Amino acid sequence: MNKTKVAIIGPGNIGTDLMIKLMRNAQHLEMCAMVGIDPQSEGLNRASQFGFYTVDNGLQGLVSHACWQDIKIIFDATSAKAHYGHWDIIKDFPDKRIIDLTPAAIGPYLVPTVNFDESHNVRNVNMVTCGGQATIPMVAAVNQVAKVHYGEIVASISSKSAGPGTRANIDEFTQTTARAIESIGGAEKGKAIIILNPADPPVVMRDTIFTLSDEADRSAIIASVQSMVEDVQSYVPGYSLHQEVQFESIPEAQAVYIEGLGKRYGLKTTILLKVEGAGHYLPPYAGNLDIMTSAALATAEKFVQNLN
């Protein structure tokens, strides 16, 4: 079977983990090239040792390389600022797609289990955030049963798994995730909070999802949530419910005020998750990074399957 050739821009921890996942797990994809800007990059050196093409003068260097014509999907694991320049180059090559793991969000947000069908023809898709990839499927699962008025998520990640890029983009994380809770998850209003947990030894990623929806059959919500968990587990095996789904009825007389919506009442649903990484390159506690690379890989696999 001929596999679709792919390249990764950004040989850091995320790009390297994605490379290892492509080598171990990809069914329809073939790692071809790693792109960076530092000749001394450890990630570039590792990619070279595995026998892949390496480029140390940026995407423009890959474009001038003989392998460029064979590459159909590019993963961008750099920064939002750099992604704008990368897209300016790639958009002129109609046979290529880019999967954006940065906060740039030039293209639409994509969570593989929730809205792939809406974005399968888009050439530039954005993987939202780690918190978004973990929690939006849960908001969507509730919304499949009862209209969600408000969705709030709290993502707790190990401080050791939050590098300089994550720390510099905390505001972007909360804003992007909140928008995606609304646009993909289906909530009328979304809110996101991130906590950097300094515990040592490091703890795995934990996520808490609160939704306020219309009253509905609670067993139907539980079934929808469990089904969605299984869907995400197909590409993130360490994704699981940490506790049973919890419910609380909020009567009209005790309606809560939600900024931008006014007073709302109905069914409060609480979902608690944990996300443990596969440990391919990043440590298992870095589930927040693992779910991003896993979601990006799953998206690329779906792109190829959709074309066949």
> Of 9, 59, 130, 271, which one is the catalytic site residue?
130
Beta strands at 148-158 and 256-258: parallel, antiparallel or unpaired: unpaired
Q: What is the pTM of this model?
A: 0.95
Cis link prior to 39 (omega < 30° from 0)? no
Give residue 221's pLDDT band: very low, low, confident or very high (50, 70, 90): very high
**Structure confidence by residue, pLDDT tens digits, 119-175:** 778 999 999 999 999 999 999 999 999 999 999 999 999 999 987 777 877 888 899
Task: Considering the domain delimited by 130-283, tell me its CATH architecture.
Answer: 2-Layer Sandwich (3.30)
Q: Where are the domains of the chain?
A: 4-106, 130-283
pLDDT at site 189: 98
CATH number of 4-106: 3.40.50.720
Active-site annotation holds for 130: yes
Q: Are 298 and 235 in contact (CB under 8 A)?
A: yes
Beta bridge partners of 269: 211, 247
Beta-strand relationship, 205-213 and 4-9:
unpaired
